[in-house]
Chain A
Amino acid sequence: MRPFSYQPASSPSDAVKATSMKPGASDKRGDGNTVFLAGGTTLIDLMKLDVSRPTGLVDVNTIADKALSEISFSKDGLRIGALAKMSAVADDATVKREYPMISQSLEKAASAQLRNMASMGGNLLQRTRCSYFRDVAWKQCNKREPGSGCAALDGQNRLHAILAVSDDCIASYPGDFGTAFVALDGSVEVEGPKGKRTIKSSELHLASGSSPSVETTLQPGEFITALVVPAGNWARRSAYLKIRDRESYEFAAASAAVALEMQSGKLGEVRVGLGGVAGKPWRSMEAEAVLRGQSFNEDLAQKAAEAAFADAKLHKHNAFKKELGQRTLVRALMDVAAMEA
C-alpha cells in the first residue's frame, strides 16, 4: 500500500473540493489521485494489492448528513442514500416487499460483515475480480496498464465475461446489486466540481471497449449521493437468481435479475439483468424484446435466453457461461412468472 493523506469530509461539497487536493512534494509514491473512501471493501483491498495507489483519501463516512444514508419511498419510486449500507437496504421491509430483486441481490452478495461495511454507491462501483488485474506481477492488463494487453484472453478465464467484452478486456463485472439496478433502470445522483447531475445506470458503466481502464462515466471528483429506482408495476414481481459453485460468499458464475408485469399469463413490461457474465452491469434488451407483450411459457423463456446470449464471445474456460447464463435466465423467468404478485 502506498502512503496517502487522509481527510475526513464534512459535506458532499467538502468531499468534492477535497479531491482536488494536491499531494505534497515529499509524497510522490502514489499515483497523484485523491479518491473517496466509503466502505473501503474494494478500495483498501486493491490498495493492499498495490493495484490502487491513491495519494489521498477523502473519508465520506464522516459526513453528518443523514439523507446520504436514508432509504425512502414515494410514488416515483425508491431512493437510497449512497452511503446507506448494503445490509440496511437488504433488510428494509419495504424494499423486500416492493423490490424483492434488490433485496435478494444484496443478501446474496459478499458476507454479512462486508454488507455492513459497503455503501450502496461504492458497491455499484465494485471492481472486477479478474486475477490478472488483481495481481500486479502480470504485465498484461489493459485495465491496470492501458496498452499492455490482456492476459485473460488466453489465460485462466473461467470466471470472465462473455457479454460486453472486447479483444482488449474480458473482465467480469462482479456486482449483484448493479445487475438488479440496471434492470430496473435506476439512476445515480452525482455531485461534482461542476455541480449536480443525474446519470442513468445504463450510462454509468462502460463496456470493455478499447479503453478498459476507464470503467465509468463519472468525472474526476464526482461523488454519488443517491441511487434512485423508478416505480413500476413489475418491481414487485421480481427476483434475483444467483448461481455459483458454493452456496454462499462467492461471486456469481451467472445470475439473472428478472422483473415481470404479467396478467393472465400475458407479459407486459419486462426487465432482465444478467450478472457474472458481462463486462458491465448488463440489461438484456434482446431478451426483453422477445418477452414483452407475449404469452409466457417455457419456450418463450428459452427464446429470450437465446436472444440474450446471441452475441456472447466465448473463451476457453468460460464457454460454459453461455449455456449456464441461458439456463439461469430461463429458471429465473419461470420462477418469477410463478410468483404471486
Chain B
Amino acid sequence: MASKKKDPVKAAQAKQADQGENTIPPKPKPPENDTASMIRASQERLEANRAPEAKKIGSIGPEIARYDAREKVMGQAQYAGDIPAPGAAYGYAVSSPVAKGMIRATNTQAAEAVPGVIRIYKHDAMKGRLKPVKFFNQGGPASTDMLVMSGPEIVHDNQIIGYVVAESYEAAREAANLVTFDIDEAKSSATFGDEGVTTYALAEKNKDWKDPVVGDAEAAFAQAEQKVEAEYFMPTQHHNPMELFSTTCHWEDERLIIHEPSAGVSVLKAGVSTQLGLKPENIDIISPYVGGSFGAKVTMTPRTSITALAARDVGRPVKCVLTRQQGFTQSTHRAETRHKVRLACDAAGKLTAYGHEAWEVTSRTDAYTVNGTENTIHMYAWPNATTKINVVEADRNTPGFMRSPPETPYIFALECAMDEMAEKMKIDPVEFRKLNDAQTTAYKNKAYTSRSLNQCLDKGAEAFGWSKRDPKVGSMRDGDWLIGYGVAMATYPTALSAAAVRIKVMADGNALVQVSAHDIGTGAYGVAAIVAAQELGLPIENVKVELGDSRLPPGPIAGGSNTTATISNAIAETCNRLRLKLGVKDGQSILPALKGLGAAEEQYNWAFEGAPPNAIETLYKGGAPFGGAAYGDKLRFAFGAEFVEVRINERTREIRVPRITGVFAAGRIINANTARSQLLGGMIWGIGSALHEATEIDSRAAKYTNSNIAEYLVPVNADIPNVEIIMLPEEDRETNALGVKGIGELGNVGTAAAIFSAVYHATGKRVRDLPIRIESLLTA
C-alpha cells in the first residue's frame, strides 16, 4: 500500500519550490542574502579590538543585581503616574455600556452639575481633531484603526465614548458615571460560535499571506502508522500589568510632553504626531520606568491623544488613569484561539506530517492575527505539513500582542498533540521529542544557527527526576493526592531590531549610555550597563544608562524579546567605534586613552545584519524594523524544556503545581541574575495560563464579566512553591554578533502543554480547553 504512495520526503522537496514567502506587512521583506556570513564578519570586526573584560565573557554572564533595584525598593522610581503635575486636572474616560450601536445623544446635564467639573467631551467631540492613524499590523503605530470619539458608532464594549476633565479624580469619576447616552443598540456577536461573526481564511483577504505548507501532508496522513487529531482552545487573556494604564499630558507652548508608561516611546511619538498633526520634534514621551507591559504598552491606544487635546483645551496638565476594568477594553489582549492539530507518525516514531488549522478572533475594525504557523512549521523533523489560519471577526476591541503572542497558543496546541502522539506510540514524551529533533527543517530547508532542545530535555529530565515517572496513567500518588509528571518544549524566535546608541565617556572614567529602549522589568538598564562596561573596559559602577525617553536616540520597542539582543549588539558596535576613534589598542581598557580628554562621544545607528536599507530611517520615524527569527537563510530560535509535577486532590480535584523545572539554552546571557527572573516569571505565567487565566465573555452582550484582578485569576505567591531554572551555556555565532537570544517570552511557552501532559498522567483526562479547572476533572 505504502509503495503506491509518493515518497513523502521527495514530495516535500518537490512542493517546497512552489512555496512563496509568508509575511505580512510591516515586516520587511526577508533578506535573501547570507546573513550568517554578515554576522560572522561583524563578530570578527568586534573581536579585533576589545577590552580585556569582553574577551573573557562566557555564554552565561555574571550575576549582577538589578540596575534600578535600589530606586524601586525605596519607592523612589517615578513611574509615569508618579510624576508631579501641579495644577493638573484629572481626566476620566467615559465607557460605552454596550458593545455595538449608534449613539443618538450624550446627556451631560447631571454630570455638568458635579462641583469641580471643568469640561465634558461628548461622544463625537474629537471629530476632525483626531487624524486617522494606521493599525500597528498595517505598519502604523496604533492599537486600532478606530478613531475614538469621532462619530456615533460603538464597535466594542467599554469603548471610550466620552471624557470628563475635573478638578479632582473623585469629581471626574462621579461625573463620568452620571453621563448617559441614548443609544440605538444593535445585536452584537462576541466570539466563536456566536451568530453574526464573520469567518474567513487569512490568505483570502491578506494577499501578502500564504499559509506555510510543505510536501504532501494529506498523502502522509493517509499512510500513517499512527495519527493524532485533536482540537485545542485557548481563551481570551489579559496582560494585567500591575501598573494601571495612565497618561499625563502637559503643554509648553507648542511642545507636548507626555508621561505615559510606554514600551515603545518612538512608536507613541509617531502616533501622537500623526493623530494630532504635530511636528514630531515638538512631542516628548517620557517613560523611564514601566510597571510591566507584556505587550500591552507598545502601541498607541486611544486615551493618549484625547488627554493631550484636553490638556490643551483646559490650559493645564491633565492626568488620566484608566481603571483596572477599563484597561480590559481600552488596551489590548490575547485573543481566544482554536486549533485543530494533526500529527502523523511512522512505525519507528518518526513524524511524517503535521497539520494545523487555527481560528483567531479579532475585532471588526482590525485584522489582528498572530500567525503562529510561521514558527511551528519549523519545530520538528516532519517532511510534510499543511497549515491554515482563519480569522473570526467579532464585536470586540482589537487584540494585540501578549507575551509570546504566536507561541503561547500555537506551541501549546502543537506540544499537547506531541504528548498525545507519544502516548499513542508508547514512547516516552522526552524521547519522542528527541527522536523528532530537527537541526534543519523541511519547510524552505533552513538550518538552525543553534538548537539545543535535546540537551535541555536531557538536563531537565535529570534535574527533575523524570526517571521516577511511572508512565502508567494514575499510578503515582501521595495520600489523597494524585501526582502527574509532564513535559513540553519551550521555544522563542530571536528577533532583532535597530537602535541608535549614544555613548559618552568622561576623563574620570565614567560613561553614559543613551538609547530609547525600555526596561519594563526585564533588566534592560543593567544589560546596557554591563555590555558597555565590558566592551569599554570600565568598572560596571561607572556606567550610567538612560532609557525610555523619546528625547534619547531611538531604540527598539520592548516587544518580541528583541531588546537585549538589539541593544547589546548596538552598544558593542558603538563601543568599538569609540575605541577605534580614541586609538585604544586591542586587549586594553579605554581608561588610559581618556586621560587628558574632556569627554568623548560616539553615536551609532545599528540595524541587524540583512536589515532593509531603510531600517534606520524607519527607526527614526517611529517604526519598528524587525528581523532575525526565520528571516534570511537561517533559523534563529532559543529553546528550552519544562518539566512539571501536578498534584490533584483525589476528591475535590483542585490542581496544584508543587514544582516545575525549566532548562533553557538561549545563547549568551548578559546578566544571569535578571535573566533568571525573566525565565522564572515566564514559567509562572505559563502556570497561570494553564490553570487560572481566562477572560470570561457574556456572549449576549459581548461584555467581559471578570474584568478585575479578583476574578481574572493570576497566580499568587501560594501557588508557586518551587521553581528550578537551569541556563545551559550555548554559543551561537550566527544568530547575531554577540550571540544573544531573547528570553523574555521563552519561559511561558510550553508550560501549559507540560501541565496538560501532567494532568493526563495523573488522571487520564485530556483537557484540551484552557484553563484546566476543577470542573474539567470532576467527571470520569
Q: Per the CB under 8 Å rule, do A and B touch in the complex?
A: yes
Chain A contact residues, CB within 8 Å of chain B? 1-3, 29, 48, 50, 129, 131-132, 135-138, 151, 154-156, 158-159, 243-251, 253-254, 320, 323-324, 327-328, 330-331
**Complex contacts, B652 vs chain A, CB 8 Å:** 243, 254, 324, 327-328, 331
> Beyond A156-B698, A320-B774, A324-B652, is A246–B779 a contact (Cβ under 8 Å)?
no
CB contact under 8 A between A154 and B700, given known A248-B717, A253-B774: yes
Nearest CB of chain A from residue B742's CB, rounded to whole Å: 29
B474 interface contact, C-beta 8 A: no
Q: Is the CB of B653 within 8 A of A246?
A: no
Contact of B713 with A245 in the complex, beta carbons under 8 Å: yes
- CA of A38 to CA of B733, assembled, Å: 64
In chain A, what residue has the closest Cβ to B655? A245
Query: Do A248 and B719 contact each other (CB < 8 Å), given the known contacts A137-B97, A331-B651, A331-B652?
Result: yes
A3 engages B654 (CB within 8 Å): no
CB pair B705–A132 under 8 Å, yes or no, is yes
* A320 and B174 contacting across the interface, CB-CB below 8 Å: no
Within 8 Å CB of A320, what residues of B? 774-775, 778
- Known: A132-B705, A324-B652; 19 extra A-B contacts, CB below 8 A, are A29-B114, A29-B174, A131-B705, A135-B325, A136-B177, A137-B95, A137-B97, A138-B701, A155-B705, A156-B698, A245-B654, A245-B692, A246-B713, A246-B716, A246-B718, A247-B656, A247-B716, A320-B775, A323-B779
- Docked pose: A129 CA to B652 CA in angstroms: 22
The number of A-B residue pairs with CB atoms under 8 Å apart is 93
Question: How far is it, in angstroms, between the C-alpha of A135 and the C-alpha of B96 when the chains are bound?
Answer: 12
- The B114-131 residues at the A interface (CB cut-off 8 A) are 114
Once A1-B170, A331-B652 are accepted as A-B contacts, the answer to whether A248 and B774 lie under 8 Å apart by CB is no
B74 contacts partner chain A, Cβ-Cβ < 8 Å: no
Please, how many angstroms separate the alpha-carbon atoms of A247 and B653 in the complex? 13
Is there an interface contact between A248 and B778, defined as CB atoms closer than 8 Å?
no
* Known contacts A155-B705, A253-B774, A324-B778, A243 near B173 by CB under 8 Å: no
Which A residues are in CB contact (< 8 Å) with B713?
245-246, 250
Q: A320–B779 Cα gap in the complex (Å)? A: 9
**A247:B177 contact, CB within 8 angstroms:** no
The verdict on B710 contacting chain A, using a C-beta distance below 8 Å, is yes
Q: Is the CB of A245 within 8 A of B706?
A: no
Q: Is residue B715 within 8 Å, beta carbon to beta carbon, of the partner chain?
A: yes
For residue B428, CB closer than 8 A to chain A, the reply is no
Count the B residues whose beta carbon is within 8 Å of the partner chain — how many? 41
User: In the assembled complex, which residues on chain A have CB atoms less than 8 Å from the CB atom of B701?
Assistant: 138
Contact of B444 with A by CB under 8 A? no
User: 19 A-B pairs, CB-CB below 8 angstroms?
Assistant: A1-B170, A2-B174, A48-B173, A135-B325, A154-B700, A156-B698, A245-B713, A245-B773, A246-B713, A246-B716, A247-B716, A248-B719, A249-B716, A253-B774, A320-B775, A324-B775, A327-B652, A331-B480, A331-B652
> When chains A and B are docked, how far (Å) is the Cα of A222 from the Cα of B703?
38
Q: Which residues of B line the A interface, CB within 8 A?
A: 95, 97-98, 114, 158, 170, 173-174, 177, 325, 480, 649, 651-654, 656, 691-692, 696-698, 700-701, 703, 705-706, 710-711, 713, 715-719, 771, 773-775, 778-779
Q: Which residue of A lies closest to B169 (CB)?
A: A1
- CB of B716 within 8 A of CB of A324, answer no
- Whether B698 lies near A129 (C-beta < 8 A) is no
Q: What are the residues of chain A within 8 A of B774 when measuring CB–CB?
A: 243, 245, 253, 320, 324
Cα separation A253 to B654 with both chains bound (whole Å)? 10
Residues of the B chain whose Cβ atoms lie less than 8 Å from the Cβ of A246:
691-692, 713, 715-716, 718-719
How far does the alpha carbon of A85 sit from the alpha carbon of B87 in the complex, in Å?
39
A323: chain B residues at CB < 8 Å are: 778-779
Set of chain B residues within 8 Å of A244, measured between Cβ atoms: 654
Question: In the bound complex, what is the Cα–Cα distance between A159 and B708 (angstroms)?
Answer: 15
> Smallest CB-CB separation from B775: which chain A residue?
A320
Query: What is the CA–CA distance of A156 and B711 in the complex, to the nearest angstrom?
Result: 12
Minimal beta-carbon separation of A234 from chain B (angstroms): 23
CB distance from A94 to the nearest CB of B (A): 26
B98 to chain A, nearest CB (A): 8
Give the distance to chain B from A27, nearest Cβ to Cβ, in Å: 10
Q: Which residue of B has the minimal Cβ distance to A241?
A: B652
Shortest Cβ distance from A137 into chain B, in angstroms?
Answer: 4
> B657: nearest residue on chain A (CB-CB)?
A247
Complexed CA–CA distance, A246 and B656 (Å)? 8
| B167 shortest CB reach to chain A, Å | 13
The complex places the Cα of A288 from the Cα of B614 at a distance, in Å, of: 77
- B120 CB to closest chain A CB, in angstroms? 16
Q: What is the CB-to-nearest-CB distance from A253 to chain B, in angstroms, rounded to a whole number?
A: 6
Known: A155-B698, A327-B651. A1 touches B692 (CB 8 A): no
Roughly how many angstroms separate A138 CA and B97 CA in the complex, as a whole number?
Answer: 8
Q: Inside 8 A of B114's CB, which chain A residues have their CB?
A: 29
Pick from A137, A156, A327: contact of B653, CB under 8 Å:
A327
CA distance A129 to B705 in the complex (A): 11
Q: Closest CB of chain A to B303's CB: distance in Å? A: 19
Known: A131-B705, A137-B703. A247 touches B174 (CB 8 A): no
Contacts of A156 in B (CB 8 A): 696-698, 705-706
A247 and B773 contacting across the interface, CB-CB below 8 Å:
no
Assess A131 versus B711: contact at CB under 8 Å? Given A155-B698, A331-B651. yes
* Other-chain contact of A158, B696, B700, B716 (Cβ < 8 Å): B696
Nearest-Cβ distance from residue B305 to partner chain A, whole angstroms: 25
- Taken together as a complex, chains A and B put the C-alpha atoms of A297 and B52 apart, in Å, by 75
CB distance from A86 to the nearest CB of B (A): 17
CB-defined contacts of A247 to chain B, threshold 8 Å: 656, 716, 718-719
What distance in Å separates the Cβ of B709 from its nearest Cβ neighbour in chain A? 10
Q: How far is the CB of B513 from chain A (nearest CB, A)?
A: 40
Q: How near does chain B come to A12, taking the closest CB pair, in angstroms?
A: 30
Of A129, A132, A245, the contact of B691 (CB 8 Å cutoff)? A245
A155: chain B residues within 8 A (beta carbon)? 698, 700, 705
Give Cα A1–Cα B323 distance, bound, in whole angstroms.
13
Task: Give A245 to B771 CA distance when docked, in angstroms.
Answer: 10
Q: How far is the CA of A245 from the CA of B705 in the complex (A)?
A: 17
B158 to chain A, nearest CB (A): 8
The chain B residue with its CB closest to the CB of A334 is B651
The CA of A273 and the CA of B719, in the complex, are separated in Å by 26
Contacts A131-B711, A247-B656, A248-B717: A1 and B706 contacting too (C-beta < 8 A)? no
User: Do A159 and B715 contact each other (CB < 8 Å), given the known contacts A327-B778, A331-B651?
Assistant: no
Chain A, Cβ-Cβ closest to B688: A246
Nearest residue, chain B, Cβ from A318:
B775
Select from chain A the residue with minimum beta-carbon distance to B177: A50
- Among A3, A129, A246, A323, residue most surrounded by chain B Cβ atoms (within 10 Å): A246
The 9 closest A-B pairs by CB, nearest first: A320-B775, A248-B718, A247-B718, A137-B97, A131-B705, A156-B705, A327-B651, A156-B696, A331-B651
Chain A nearest CB from B101 CB (Å) reads 13
A154: chain B residues at CB < 8 Å are 700
Q: Which residues of the other chain, B, contact A136 by a CB distance below 8 angstroms?
A: 177
- Expressed in whole angstroms, the Cα–Cα distance for A132 and B114 within the complex equals 27
Central interface residue in A1, A2, A48, A137, by most chain B CB within 10 Å? A137
A26 to B705, CA, bound (A): 36
Residues in A whose Cβ lies below 8 Å from that of B654: 243-245
A185 to B654, CA, bound (A): 30
Most buried by A among B98, B711, B715: B711
* Identity of the chain A residue whose Cβ is nearest the Cβ of B717 in the assembled complex: A248
Nearest CB in chain B: distance from A51 CB, A: 11
Q: How far is the CB of A36 from chain B (nearest CB, A)?
A: 21
Task: Give the complex CA separation of A154 and B698 in angstroms.
Answer: 9
B597 to chain A, nearest CB (A): 55
Residues of B within 8 A of A3 (CB): 174
CA distance in complex: A137, B185 (Å): 13
Interface centre among B691, B705, B706 (most CB of A within 10 A): B705
**Which chain A residues border B711 with CB–CB below 8 Å?**
129, 131, 159
A112 to B774 Cα, complex, angstroms = 26
Query: A333 vs B705: C-alpha distance in the bound complex, in angstroms?
Result: 34
**How many angstroms between the C-alpha atoms of A50 and B97 in the bound complex?**
14
User: With the chains together, A249 CA to B692 CA distance in Å?
Assistant: 13
